[in-house]
Amino acid sequence: MASLPLFPLTAKVTALRGVGPVYAEAFEANGILTLKDLLWSLPYRYIDRGSLLKIGDLGFRPDAGDREIVTVLGTVQDVRQSTTRVQRMNLTEALITDGTGVLRLVWFNQPHVGKLFRAGERVLVFGPLASGRLGLEMRGPAFELMGRGGDEDSLWVRRYLPLYRKLGPVMGRARQRMVQEALARASEPGEWLPPELARGVPSTLASLRLLHQPPDDSDPAELDAHASPAHRRLASEELFAFALGVTLRRAGRMARRGQAVATTPELRERLRDYLPFRLTGAQRNAFREIVADLTSGRVMHRLLQGDVGSGKTLVAFLAMAMVAETGGQAALLVPTEVLARQHAATVQRLLKGAAGGMELLLGPMKAAEKRKALARIASGEASYIIGTHALFQEAVAFRQLQLVVVDEQHRFGVRQREALKQKGLDPHWLVMSATPIPRSLALALFGDLEQSVLDELPPGRQPITTRLLEPGGAERAWAIMERELNAGRQAFVVSPAIDPQDEAKVPLRDIQAMEALLRAQFPVHELRVVHGRLKADAMAERMEDFVSGRARILLATTVIEVGVDVPNASVMVVDHAERFGLSQLHQLRGRVGRGSVPSHFLMLSGADTERLRVLVATQDGFRIAQKDLELRGPGEFFGTRQAGLPQFQAADLVRDRQLLTLCREAADKAVQRGLSEAQLGWLKQEQARLKLAEIS
Ligand code: ADP
Ligand code: MG
């Protein structure tokens, strides 16, 4: 093989031997075009040959815990589907053999499994053993299809068998062969990491070899934790490329001229007049930082972070007022109409006599109303503009847009953020994050921006008692709620949105069932129900009933998660709390405790109690977010549709956050020194995947 020519990592996979049209199509469908794409698709897991058990040796081993996970490799003998007599469940059964015995596998209500299994194909299965009617079996095991193959085609060329993400027909030994071929034919790229990152880690190609074909003496714990020096090399390459992109984008922004807002003593006086309260120290600091940006002549790009209830809205309003009072326009973008209406009411209240300068723009407005709003925005008559996505989608022409404030940013994609730039506008940006996130992640998520943190709550906040109640203890929750309602307060009840296809083992109570329960439990108190499928008008009307106090109980899915401000609400009950993320629950909790009396946050849940206890233990949103991230990973944490998150293959934003900090520092230095050819080349390759800045 040594005589064959080497390819750069940027060469097409189709250059490899053995890649015909079928494989090429499978690769392309999975975004794998080059050798680099193929090689950076790292194994997500390794199976140690020594941990593999023979079916004939399986049995109840007295010293093994009864939930011990065992791994077996077998060939499928038979697959069948049927329906159980009791409960009418779909049952999939498969028999596999490895020559020493036959093992039965069963799945309930997962008919797709039956379609994946084919007689004669190999499969690795992982799961605990159970004793069934017909002997030992595995119920609902995880599995990995390995394709066909005979004795001469052992999967186990080494001690560790790498397992890969599915790539259509390229599986099992065939996948290993492709990778092997790519490793043999790829040439070592020039070193482009700066010395401080390259020190102590193997070269790129050596790292790829170590991770695709771990030597038998590799440390399995290190492999599993993605903590080997080889992992570190590849993660550094991704994070450094990413950090370089951010640094360059920042340099570009610093070079742009922003609209400088001129402050005067009169302006300061007017802003002070708008304030309903004394600012907290944290609010004052954050606003000072914003003023410095707005007056600097550069374009502001700032993230305002703060725990729920820390008073971000007031700071944002002051920034808007500063622009609006000096002849510019400021837009506030929010994710939902409920929230848009509420912010509009708040701004109106703060503006008092000057409220005529405000305009609300929503998607489903009546045509005449919308025309009027658009005209007022175009003429500059409206200087405070509040709206949802409609602000991007409609033919909105601004007269003098100088500032965009985005509330609950992570619901907006990069695309919307870029939409205004498309209109030739280069306003200042203030981004408010609902969920506090660690600095390193903020950087990854938002790219280039400065941060202000509100680490102090306004005075007079009432304590919130948090309790976790078993479903059997729900009476306790209803009793507390009854007491609060009878004292003239209001209550939120939150139900998870439940998909009727849901296959959870615990029976779930949906919002209809909860409504029936609440009506029976609290017949004298007015109740309103809101959920995501409600028409905008109906939603606004029901919310208004609750905000005004006409309705005393609001039963909702998580549409209330963000921003609703009803100080008279002193109790919230969350049903099936295990269905929510920790940060989401913390946001929900922030809806109470805003009035003049102590409040209650009651979670009903029979599952996942250890995770939920975090909320009982602390009220610190930053700590909760950190825990949530560790438990769920950044993808889940920010929601699967989070468009802005870069797609890393070797790096993990939570696991590698210290490395990211190092890469940032290294990137700053590298840009100051001037980038090398190798660095520029690598950046060009990476920019699409990592959503980096344009490099010119
Ligand atoms: P969040 O940061 O969660 O968006 P809000 O901006 O909704 O918080 O503020 C929460 C509550 O605190 C609101 O009712 C607001 O009026 C009140 N608030 C904000 N700043 C102050 C302050 N400096 N003093 C007293 N109350 C304040
Ligand atoms: Mg808010």
How much is the pLDDT for 682? 80
Alpha-carbon torsion angle 354, 359, 360, 366, nearest 10: 130
Q: What separation in Å is there between the alpha carbon of 626 and the centre of ligand 2? A: 20
How much is the pLDDT for 287? 96
How much is the pLDDT for 633? 73
Among 169-178, 250-259, 417-426, the range of highest mean pLDDT:
250-259
How much is the pLDDT for 445? 66
| DSSP secondary structure code for residue 7 in this structure | B
Among 54-63, 305-314, 641-650, the range of highest mean pLDDT:
305-314
Between CA 337 and CA 345 the distance in angstroms is: 12
Residue 458, ligand 1, Cβ within 6 A: yes
pLDDT for residue 412 is more than 60: no
Q: What separation in Å is there between the alpha carbon of 299 and the centre of ligand 2? A: 24
How much is the pLDDT for 353? 84
Q: What separation in Å is there between the alpha carbon of 455 and the centre of ligand 2? A: 14
Q: Which ligand 1 atom sits nearest the alpha carbon of residue 312?
A: 2
Q: What separation in Å is there between the alpha carbon of 564 and the centre of ligand 2? A: 8
What end-to-end distance do the CA atoms of the chain give, in Å?
39
How much is the pLDDT for 695? 37
pLDDT for residue 601 is more than 50: yes
Average pLDDT of the residues of the chain: 86
Q: What separation in Å is there between the alpha carbon of 214 and the centre of ligand 2? A: 49
**Which of 162-171, 194-203, 285-294 is the least confident region?**
162-171
Q: What is the 3-class SS of 104-117, one letter each residue?
A: EEEEECCHHHHHHC
What sign does the dihedral 207-212-217-220 (CA atoms) show?
positive
How much is the pLDDT for 66? 59
Average pLDDT (51-61) is 81
Among 48-62, 230-244, 336-350, 647-661, the range of highest mean pLDDT:
230-244
Angle 229-255/657-673 helices, nearest 10 degrees? 50
What percent of the chain lies above the pLDDT cut of 70?
A: 90
Ligand 1 mutation pick, 565, 587, 589, max ligand atoms within 8 A of CB: 565
Ligand 1 mutation pick, 275, 277, 435, max ligand atoms within 8 A of CB: 277
Between 653 and 318, where is the model more confident?
Answer: 318
**Closest Cα to atom 17 of ligand 1:** 311
Residue 619, ligand 1, Cβ within 6 A: no
How much is the pLDDT for 690? 61
Confidence of residue 694 (pLDDT cuts 50, 70, 90): very low
**Which of 94-108, 165-179, 227-241, 357-371 is the least confident region?**
165-179
Q: What are the tens digits of pLDDT across the range 453-462?
A: 998 888 888 8
Q: What are the tens digits of pLDDT across the range 108-136?
A: 888 888 888 889 888 999 888 888 777 78
Residue 436, ligand 1, Cβ within 6 A: no
Ligand 1 mutation pick, 303, 304, 314, max ligand atoms within 8 A of CB: 314
Q: What separation in Å is there between the alpha carbon of 591 and the centre of ligand 2? A: 10
Q: What are the tens digits of pLDDT across the range 517-527?
A: 999 999 999 99
How much is the pLDDT for 5? 80
Q: What are the tens digits of pLDDT across the range 548-567?
A: 999 999 999 876 655 578 99
Q: What separation in Å is there between the alpha carbon of 563 and the centre of ligand 2? A: 5
How much is the pLDDT for 596? 87
Alpha-carbon torsion angle 395, 401, 403, 407, nearest 10: -20
Between 172 and 361, where is the model more confident?
Answer: 361
Residue 587, ligand 1, Cβ within 6 A: no
**Which of 55-64, 206-215, 346-355, 364-373 is the least confident region?**
55-64
**Which of 63-67, 159-163, 236-240, 563-567 is the least confident region?**
63-67
Residue 314, ligand 1, Cβ within 6 A: yes
- 308-318 core/surface letters (b: 16 or more CB in 10 A; e: else): bbbbbbbbbbb
Ligand whose nearest atom lies closest to the CA of 454: 1
pLDDT for residue 410 is more than 60: no
Residue 310, ligand 1, Cβ within 6 A: yes
Among 127-136, 224-233, 391-400, 621-630, the range of highest mean pLDDT:
224-233
How much is the pLDDT for 689? 64
State pTM to two decimals: 0.77
Ligand whose nearest atom lies closest to the CA of 593: 1
pLDDT for residue 662 is more than 70: yes
How much is the pLDDT for 361? 92
For residue 331, count other CB atoms closer than 10 A to its CB.
Answer: 27
How much is the pLDDT for 693? 42
Q: What angle do CA 184, 189, 190 make, to 5 degrees?
A: 145
**Which of 36-50, 150-164, 497-511 is the least confident region?**
497-511
Task: Tell me which residues have their CB within 5 A of the ion that is ligand 2.
Answer: 563
Confidence of residue 696 (pLDDT cuts 50, 70, 90): very low
How much is the pLDDT for 95? 94
Q: What separation in Å is there between the alpha carbon of 281 and the centre of ligand 1? A: 13
CB 608 within 8 A of CB 574: no
Per DSSP, the residues of 146-190 read EE---GGG-S-SSSEEEE----TT--HHHHHHHHHHHHHHBPPPP
What percent of the chain lies above the pLDDT cut of 90?
A: 42
